[in-house]
Structure 1
């Protein structure tokens, strides 16, 4: 990592906890919040992958809406339109993991430009980041909207390289999603996988260059490697 000149983060599940919406789901469906959130997130991802394969892009907000409709239909839970709108809106206000604000501040202090590269739309990325008060930490907020295809398509990963004006070998890509880390590594980024759940990395022909369990482990890891 001695040549690293910038860091790019995934947003959903990496910096921000997608399951922070579970509490709001429980308000409308008592005792079912986490169950709803888990299926909702999985279908949200599946729909972005399938839409990309179909060559039929739609916004992340629409994919999120479709996934919630599926989830409630699958669980046989009645979904009123006002509840649907309220819960989808919560995805625009998901919360960062507890260690993220301080870790970002420490990384920014190292003089490295920080960026987000996300499946989210421009609107959704800005909403999530601004709501958490972390907008000042990022030099770039990059959305797949510009290429109208979702991760792990290589056109998405190319966006960060073009936007930051750095070669892919100089950009550390950080994600908690193993499929996303695999896509970024295949593209040519050095990758740090945040293995929050102690999981198993995907068998997609790639391995992360670095693995941490929390984001606040990254500044020390980065500093150790650079100082060698």
Structure 2
């Protein structure tokens, strides 16, 4: 079937999750991050994902804002920054205003002009997603912002991917699912979506039972891929 619906992961795919630490590191009040923000951002992100998976496995769901804050607390302590005045609050504020990858708005606009449905499917809470989209100036480029909060469990649980069919009434084979997270792209492929993994860092393919159908290196390639698949 041709692709009718393009679904995007948010964090790491449309929005740069390292942007909060990078921006804070340039501010005089948070110069403590200047020499280690890259490593710190990786720690924060890895712990954030760990906590989503652990909460999903144990049934101890909490929204993504809370999980992000708990991961941040761990990262701050791990890097010896827990006592830095105002740093936690500043990083949490910046996380609501992450930079979009520069090619994202034009890519989404091209899909809209081609008549494709577009949406986010994310671990993010509805408020976080709405703030991120607005801050990036991407209002009007999505038909919906789908959050795991609707089902109360994190990706890659199949009930999260079910949200797409419930919202758009499309067959799984009509969906192009785009994620920069290799595990997410793999799980979505196993679910039955056509998947594109945006491998920005030239990482190895995840050793899971499923593999993404397409491997790209940025979002700019998505419109031409959709055209080829349609």
TM-score (norm 1): 0.94
Alignment of 1:37-186 (within 5 A): 37-80=41-84, 82-186=86-190
Q: Assess, with a 3 A threshold, how the Cα gap between structure 1 residues 109 and 48 changes in structure 2: closer, same or farther.
A: same
1:46 CA displacement? 0.5
CA RMSD of aligned residues (A): 1.3
CA offsets, 1:14-67, max 9 Å, x none?
111111112234231231211211100110010101111110000101011001
Contact persistence 1:23–1:33 (CA under 8 A): yes
Contact persistence 1:113–1:139 (CA under 8 A): yes
Distance (whole Å) between structure 1 residues aligned to residue 140 and residue 85 of structure 2: 35
Does residue 11 (structure 1) correspond to residue 10 (structure 2)? The answer is yes
Q: In the alignment, what sits opposite 1:200?
A: 204
User: Which consecutive residues of structure 2, in runs of 5 or more, have no partner in the other structure?
Assistant: none
1:195 CA displacement? 1.2
Distance (whole Å) between structure 2 residues aligned to residue 214 and residue 43 of structure 1: 24
CA offsets, 1:176-217, max 9 Å, x none?
110000111111111111111111110111111112111111
Contact persistence 2:17–2:45 (CA under 8 A): yes
Counterpart among 200, 216, 219 of residue 220 in structure 2: 216
Distance (whole Å) between structure 1 residues aligned to residue 140 and residue 152 of structure 2: 26
User: Which consecutive residues of structure 1, in runs of 5 or more, have no partner in the other structure?
Assistant: none
1:81 CA displacement? 6.5
Compare 204-213 and 145-154 and name the one that shifted more.
Answer: 204-213
1:225 CA displacement? 3.3
**SS of match in other structure, 1:88:** helix
1:153 CA displacement? 0.7
Distance (whole Å) between structure 1 residues aligned to residue 73 and residue 24 of structure 2: 13
**SS of match in other structure, 2:119:** strand
Equivalenced residues, count: 225
**SS of match in other structure, 1:135:** coil
Q: In the alignment, what sits opposite 2:21?
A: 22
Distance (whole Å) between structure 2 residues aligned to residue 96 and residue 43 of structure 1: 22
1:171 CA displacement? 1.0
Compare 2-11 and 53-62 and name the one that shifted more.
Answer: 2-11
